[in-house]
Each structure stands twice: as C-alpha cells, then as structure tokens.
Structure 1
Amino acid sequence: MTDIPIVEAFDLCRRDAERGQVLLQPASFSLHDGDRVAVTGPSGSGKSVLLRALALLDPLDAGRIEWHGKPVSRITMTHYRRNIAYIRQRPAVLEGTVEDNLRYPYTLHAYRDVRFDRERARSFAERAGRGDDFLDKSASELSGGEAQITALIRVLQLAPEVLLLDEPTASLDPESSHAIEALVKTWLDSADARRASVWVSHDPAQAARVSDRHLTMRAGVLDEVTRPAAPPGPQDNQREDTR
C-alpha cells in the first residue's frame, strides 16, 4: 500500500438545490490501494449522495477531490471517471445480447484506445458462475441478477482502479448476490493493478463480508466505525474459568 491514496476527499458537501437541505455534511475520506470499504446507514442518510460525489457525477457545493495526490481538473475529469467507476442498484441494459452490452463502452470516445476482449469477458462471466453461452444470451431474457452481472462485467473489463458499488445486490436473490460478491472479490484480489472498493449495503452480514473498513452515515454525516475486538476463543474462556 502506498502512502498516497488513490482517492482523497476533503470536506465534500452536497445540498438539495430546490429545498436547500444539506444532503452530505462536510465529509473527508481517503481510499488507498487494497481498501475494501463498506458504508451502511438508514435509507435517505446520504450513502448514494456520497458515492455519486466521490464519482464526481453530481456537482459539489463545497470541498475537493484529489486523485493520486493531485486535484481533479476539467482536463483529467474524463480519465478520473474512467477509473473511479460507479455501479448503481438497477443498471440500464441495452437491447441485443450480453456481448452487445459489453461491447458498447468501446464505441465511446473515452475508450477509443482499448478493444473488446471476448475471452476476458467470458472469464469474468465464468467467475460469476455463468456458462460459456452467457455472452450470447438476449438482454431481454436476463434476470435481475444477470443484468447486474452484465453491468458489472461491462465496468470491470475496462480496468478501473476503484469500484463504487451502490447497493448492487439489493432485491437480488441470494445466489445472484453471492455471484456479484464473488466477482468483485476476484477482481480485487488480482495483484496486477491498484484496486479498491466502496460498497453501500443495508445488510450488516454482507457489509462484513465485503469490507475491512466500515463507515456509517446518518443524516448526511459520515463516520468510521472501529471494528469490535474478536470474541475470546475457547482457550481464553478456559483461562477465565480457572482464575
């Protein structure tokens, strides 16, 4: 892990322009190579607002973001968004096949320097428990879990540095949820690049599985949770009983 974070946020603040309500109280946050962060909190607490602010998808009312120690500018914005990828809860799926959906980003100007690799995409699908025929499946036939897997592969194949996952398994069945978790874990465990994730979840058990850092949000306030000490093992209990 390097000393310079991949992403560092300084006093980010967001307000509802119409109502004047503060959606995100000034929040500072750093994300280093290898970090796996979970964010939990009640609905409406600002979790999605935080992720979208980190992705620079919405304008900030205050604060700034640095990427590899340098402020994100208009010149570097496109490259930043290419590397700091936001995955929403219900992704849009285009008409055609799964492969058509995976090929779509390569038609955009921002990705003119890379080409679609079917074998790599097939490998991602396999890690999510999908067979060789998955890429040929019609998008109209996809279940909610398969649509989310498609959207995730569409991002992962572009080799981002950070995944900002906004409740990607909400409303999915357990099998699909675990497939998404497995795919993200495999991607994070790859040692060939700097990678980190921020995962918003309502499920405490999932948050524990996918993270080594835990943040909470309430009323737009971001806090970091200190993980509790591990419970005493059988030998510790035995020592206590003999005292």
Structure 2
Amino acid sequence: MSSAILEANNLSHKVKSQWLWQNLSFSMKSGDRVALIGPSGSGKTVLLRTLSALAPLQQGNIRFRDRELSEWEMPQYRAQVMYLPQRPALPEASVEEAIREPLSLRVHRHKQYDRAAVSNLLEILDRDKAFLVKQTSHLSGGERQIVAFLRAVMLQPTVLLLDEPTASLDEKAATAIEAAIASWIDKGNNRACLWTSHNPLQLERVTTRQIRL
C-alpha cells in the first residue's frame, strides 16, 4: 500500500494543439506543503482543477488514498481534495451564512459547524466577530478569499489545492493566512497542500518542495 495521500501518474493536458504539460508524475504525503511553479500560461490552474476533478483528466491517472479517481463518487472526492480559486464565488448572504452553506450538502451533513473554531481562525486573521455579519456582496476581493478559506477548513478536507490564495490580501493578512494554513496542516492527520503564488518569497516561506511546470 502506498504511503502517499494523492498521486498523479503520467498526466498530460493539451489545449488545442499545444501541450501544457506531459507525463507529469508526483505524489503528496501527510504534512506536505508543495509549491506548484511555472511561467504564466504553463497550466498551473488547469493542473489544480484537474487534481480536484473540476477539469477533465485527459491522460494519465490520479489516485487518492490508494483508490483510482474513477473509483470515487465525485462529491465525496471533491469534499476531500478541495480547490480554492483565486476569485471565489460566494452566495449572497452574511459571512457566517456563507461559511455554513456547504454543510447543507449531503456529503457534508455529518459535519458540525464549529463557531469557536471559526472565531479562533478569525482571531488569527485579525478579524473580529463583527466580520461574520457582513454581507458577502460588500466584501473586498481579499475578504472573499478569507471567507473561502474559512469555508474550506470548516469542511475538514484532506488536501487543499490553493490557487493564489492571498493574491488580493495585504502583507499582514497574507501572513495570517499562511499561519492559519500551517496550523491546519499541523493539527490534523494526513493533511497536505499544493500552493501556487506569484510571490516566490512566499513560496519559500510556506512550502518545503516544488513541482515545476
């Protein structure tokens, strides 16, 4: 049995006649903090979406917890291998309602909303409880990224696929998100993250190895 949580084997992806990447293989183990790097247009977002089963798998195979991607029901898989886009879509609601909303889905109904944990994360992120009553329609791009992160960690995934998760945040808030992600990995069993960022200094801080496209 493999010790990897998530494995990508010989992945290839073509857009029209152009290969973005070919025969790409790597694995992620518990505690891994991996940087996904490459020039603009190299397909970093496409790879994250492919790993999360939000984009089609053209060639190769993906294994999660020693099972082929095809063996998983997609809601169950996506609940554990979770993609955070750079510009998250949120429902028109209060922040707290937006965080709670995914718990109404069948795949998450066994999970409990933990307001204390949310409050602790808000403290790390230098936001008070008043943030929970703000309307999502009034949030800045950076605040929307904070809400998307809170939604994700409340759902207790195994792998976070982070697509520029702090791109719209100031330095203080970005550092807080980095600390929150590190804490999330350290406090759980078999958790890992794959991270893209245009800031190479950030990737040096938050990751321990790189995958280059």
TM-score by length of 2: 0.93
Q: In 2, Cα distance between the equivalents of 1:95 and 1:31?
A: 35
- The aligned counterpart of 2:41 is 44
**TM-score, normalised via structure 1 length:** 0.82
Q: Secondary structure at the match of 2:70?
A: coil
Q: Could you tell me which residue of structure 2 aligns to residue 168 of structure 1?
A: 165
For residues 39 and 167 of structure 2, what CA distance do their matches in structure 1 show? 14
Bigger helix share: 2
Conservation of the 8 A alpha-carbon contact between 2:99 and 2:150? yes
Note the aligned Cα RMSD (angstroms): 1.7
Q: Is 1:207 aligned to 2:203, yes or no?
A: yes
Secondary structure (helix, strand or coil) at the match of 2:174 reads helix
Residue 193 (structure 1) aligned to one of 189, 192, 212 = 189
Greater C-alpha radius of gyration: 1
After TM superposition, list the pairs within 5 Å mapping 1:65-80 onto structure 2. 65-80=62-77
Q: Percent sequence identity over matched residues?
A: 45
Runs of 5+ in structure 2 lacking a partner? none
Q: Give secondary structure in 2 for the equivalent of 1:164.
A: strand
Shift of 1:174: 1.5
Deviation of 1:78 (Å) = 2.3
Q: How far apart are the structure 2 equivalents of 1:201 and 1:33?
A: 21
> Does residue 157 of structure 2 align to residue 138 of structure 1?
no
| CA deviation string 1:30-61 (max 9, x = no partner) | 00001110112211011111111111111111
For structure 1, the residue ranges without an aligned partner over 5 or more in a row are: 218-243
After TM superposition, the runs of 4+ consecutive aligned structure 1 residues lying more than 4 A away are none
| 1:146 and 1:176 in contact (8 A); partners too | no
Mapped to 2, the partners of 1:93 and 1:77 lie a distance apart of 21
Is 2:4 the partner of 1:8? no
Query: Aligned residues, how many?
Result: 213
What is the CA distance between 1:160 and its match in structure 2? 0.5
